[in-house]
Amino acid sequence: MNEIVVLSGKGGTGKTSITASLAVLAGNDAVIADCDVDAANMHLLLHPDFGTTVEFYSGEIAVINQAQCTRCRKCEDACRFNAIVYLDKKMQVIPIDCEGCGYCEKVCPTGAISMLERKSGNLFVSNIKTGTKMVHARLDIGAENSGKLVARVKNEAKSLAVATNKSFIIIDGAPGIGCPVVSSLAGANYVVLVTEPTMSGLHDLKRICAVIAKFRIKAGCIINKWDLNEEKTTEIQQFLYDEQIKHLADIPYDSSFTNAMTEGKTIVEIQSPYQELLQRIWNDIKTQLPK
């Protein structure tokens, strides 16, 4: 079974639109995972039914029992994150700053502090329009540990794929290079990079490629909106060649992508010259997957 993750470094290059298109092309033979848990968009194109919802707990939060608290301030002194303050004559935990390290619990002389499991989001397992399943999630506002939620989404997708004998897991990744991205990379055996021919696009592409190199995962790249800057497109092609990353295709800027999105469809579901191109890209990706 192959695990394909779609990344970009820079946001807004067309990652989600392309991932959803690959999902439609893979049809019933793939389980889909939306690991951009911060700002998930795949559902707008694949129309999941949100069949199953599971609460996601990760990390802990300190809770103070005021009756046992003597306001000695040892917890405030210990906390490196300034998450405990003396306010309104009480020691109070500031949830958004608490990192759940438990140091306060250890130093409290009266045992007034306990560490409780913390809900940080919701996980969904849905049926989607291609007749298969999508695992997706919603992280709670300002929540930490998005990497853990990403891992959970991926693992659910993996279990489903194994149980239903699918050939592929296709993962929409997050922008950036941080924890949620690294989480989506772990265990992947192919990365599809989607970039754009801008200075920002190339700068961010280089950074994500450096991260991927550490994982030693095979990668291919699509240059989206290539005709916005032909010079930059050529520069990116050279970079891909130097890095031994397969140059999968160039897709021109075309308003039909947005038009399709507005109708809740992927580009391969409307009449367009891109159906053939995306099919070719998908076939190309499949030939490159490890046997």
Crossing angle for the helix pair 274-288 and 15-26, to the nearest 10 degrees: 80
Cβ at position 155, least distance to another protein in Å: 4
CB of 121 to another protein, least distance (A): 9
Q: Sheet with 168-172: list strands edge to edge.
A: 52-64, 113-127, 133-139, 30-34, 168-172, 2-7, 190-195, 219-224, 246-251
- The interface with another protein within residues 222-261 (CB under 8 A) comprises 225, 228-229, 232, 253, 255, 258, 261
Stretch that binds another protein, among 85-93, 125-133, 211-219, 271-279 (CB under 8 A): 211-219
Q: Which of 27, 51, 109, 178 binds another protein (CB under 8 A)?
A: 178
In the region spanning residues 27 to 56, those forming contacts with another protein, defined by CB under 8 A, are 37-39, 41, 44
Could you tell me if 21 and 266 are in contact, meaning their C-beta atoms sit under 8 angstroms apart? yes
Is 144 an interacting residue with respect to another protein (CB under 8 A)?
A: yes
- Smallest distance, another protein to C-beta of residue 70, A: 20
Residues 6+ apart with CB under 8 A from 209: 9, 193, 219, 243, 245
Q: How far is the CB of 80 from another protein (least distance, A)?
A: 5
For the bound state, the minimum distance from the C-beta of residue 85 to another protein, rounded and expressed in Å, comes to: 15
Residues 98 and 81 sit within 8 Å (Cβ to Cβ): yes
Alpha-carbon distance 287 to 196, whole Å?
24
Which listed residue (51, 66, 96, 288) binds another protein by CB under 8 A? 96
- CB of 7 or CB of 64, closer to another protein: 7
> How far is the CA of 116 from the CAs of 62, 70, 77, 101, 113, in angstroms?
6, 21, 21, 11, 10
Nearer Cβ to another protein, position 29 or 60? 60
85 binds another protein (CB under 8 A): no
> Which of 58, 67, 64 has its CA nearest to residue 104?
64
Pick one of 48, 173, 176, 220: the residue that binds another protein (CB under 8 A).
176
Give me the least distance between CB of 67 and another protein, in Å please.
25
**Cβ–Cβ < 8 Å for 62, 100:** yes
Q: Residues interacting with another protein, by CB under 8 A?
A: 9-13, 16, 37-39, 41, 44, 60, 78, 80-81, 96, 99-103, 106-107, 115, 139, 141-144, 146-148, 150-151, 154-155, 158, 174-179, 182-183, 186-187, 196-201, 203-204, 207, 210-211, 214, 216, 225, 228-229, 232, 253, 255, 258, 261-262, 264
